[in-house]
């Protein structure tokens, strides 16, 4: 790079940078020079940015997705956190503390590298605390339900002061259960589950419940089942026209994929010109001979190609002619199936008068 007047932009802007700038949980480390984007992301705009003191150009892309997808191995900030007032207030106070670190850094770039790491820790910590609170809320309600039921099954009594005057006698062993309190806890638990189910419904493109359907396990199973049974209702042709009839859809799809399986003529003229300028060399157990048409001779043992044995003793000429015919027939079967040989290949050229 120095010979061409180029400088490593990363080391120029951060001379004290030690090691790679990107790591993952599987131990892979890289200097991040390029990023792969998923095809599901729609590119909205893009332009090149000049980067001085470097042999690279910066690429500025603006991408968008219809929904926020979640996958294993990646941490993503949900959009709903950005609308929570508690998150906004906490982040504003946290960022004010980060601004106090500017005077301790050599420049804005060094301060921003430190700020990014601390912002990541703050956001992950906020989301973890929120998730723990949600789980503790569910666990607390479920525990209260268990206590209400156990009080009746074990013959005890519940705290009547927490409920109204309506009490129903029940219990397997003569105890009593506060069914009104239990119904209220169940309704509260259902409300928590429905609140957590809204992001799932948004990702599933089903923003409503049919009639009085509740967000139960059966409901989620039915939503996934409807998604798995989705079918095509139309196919777009190359000219932009959309066909919806079954026969036309099959015809358009067949025509589209037919081109992938058609045989195509290959021009080998340039390859032949290239081969004419090559000279033969023989290595290993092969040696070149000028007294035989093929120019090759096996030092020891017999030769086996595609399961065909080529002997080196006895009626060699007759045996080789018959073996070559069998090998050519097998090669023709391979060509008919558009298959290829991968590995070591030996090409034998036999003259007509040999």
* Across 109-123, average pLDDT: 86
Give the predicted TM-score (pTM) of the model: 0.28
- Tokens for 128, please give them: 């973890």
Dihedral class, residue 101 (left if φ above 0, else alpha if ψ from -120 to 50, else beta): alpha
Residue-wise DSSP of 114-138: HHHHHHHHHHHHHHHHHHHHHHHHH
220 falls in which pLDDT band (50, 70, 90)?
Answer: low
Average pLDDT, the chain: 66
**Residue 182 near residue 188 (C-beta atoms within 8 A):** no
Answer whether residue 81 shows pLDDT above 70: yes
* Across 235-254, average pLDDT: 81
Residue-wise DSSP of 145-164: HHHHHHHHHTT----GGGS-
pLDDT of residue 290: 53
pLDDT of residue 62: 76
* pLDDT tens-digit readout, 155-167: 444 444 444 333 3
* pLDDT tens-digit readout, 256-301: 777 666 666 767 777 777 777 766 555 544 555 555 555 555 444 4
Answer whether residue 245 shows pLDDT above 60: yes
Residues in contact with 44: Cβ distance below 8 Å, sequence separation at least 6, in sequence order? 62, 63, 64
Answer whether residue 191 shows pLDDT above 50: yes
Helix (H, G, I), strand (E, B) or coil at 301: coil
Does residue 37 or residue 315 have the better pLDDT? 37
Query: 39-43, 131-135, 347-351: which range is least confident on average?
Result: 347-351
Domain ranges for the chain = 1-66, 78-225, 285-354
* pLDDT tens-digit readout, 323-343: 777 777 777 766 655 545 444
């Amino acid at each position: 790079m120095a010979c061409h007047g180029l400088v490593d932009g990363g080391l120029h802007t951060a001379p004290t940078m030690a090691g790679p700038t990107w790591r993952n949980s599987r131990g892979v480390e890289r200097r991040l020079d390029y990023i792969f984007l998923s095809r599901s992301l729609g590119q909205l705009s893009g332009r090149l940015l000049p980067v001085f003191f470097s042999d690279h150009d910066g690429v500025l892309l603006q991408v968008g997705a219809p929904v926020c997808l979640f996958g294993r191995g990646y941490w993503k900030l949900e959009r709903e956190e950005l609308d929570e007032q508690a998150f906004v207030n906490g982040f504003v106070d946290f960022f004010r503390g980060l601004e106090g670190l500017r005077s301790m850094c050599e420049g804005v770039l060094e301060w921003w590298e430190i700020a990014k790491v601390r912002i990541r820790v703050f956001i992950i910590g906020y989301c973890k605390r929120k998730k723990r609170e949600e789980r503790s809320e569910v666990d607390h309600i479920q525990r209260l339900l268990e206590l209400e039921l156990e009080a009746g099954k074990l013959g005890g009594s519940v705290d009547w002061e927490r409920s109204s005057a309506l009490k129903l006698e029940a219990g397997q062993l003569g105890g009593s259960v506060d069914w009104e309190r239990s119904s209220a806890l169940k309704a509260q638990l259902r409300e928590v589950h429905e609140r957590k189910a809204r992001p799932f419904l948004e990702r599933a493109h089903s923003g409503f419940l049919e009639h009085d359907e509740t967000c139960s396990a059966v409901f989620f199973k039915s939503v996934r089942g409807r998604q798995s049974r989705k079918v095509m209702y139309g196919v777009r042709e190359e000219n932009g026209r959309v066909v919806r009839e079954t026969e036309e859809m099959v015809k358009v799809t067949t025509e589209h994929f037919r081109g992938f399986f058609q045989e195509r003529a290959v021009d080998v003229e340039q390859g032949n010109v290239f081969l004419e300028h090559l000279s033969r060399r023989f290595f290993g157990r092969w040696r070149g001979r000028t007294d035989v048409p093929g120019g090759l001779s096996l030092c020891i043992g017999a030769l086996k190609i595609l399961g065909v044995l080529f002997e080196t003793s006895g009626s060699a000429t007759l045996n080789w002619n018959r073996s070559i015919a069998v090998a050519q027939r097998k090669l023709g079967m391979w060509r008919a199936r558009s298959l290829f040989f991968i590995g070591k290949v030996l090409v034998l050229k036999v003259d007509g008068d040999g």
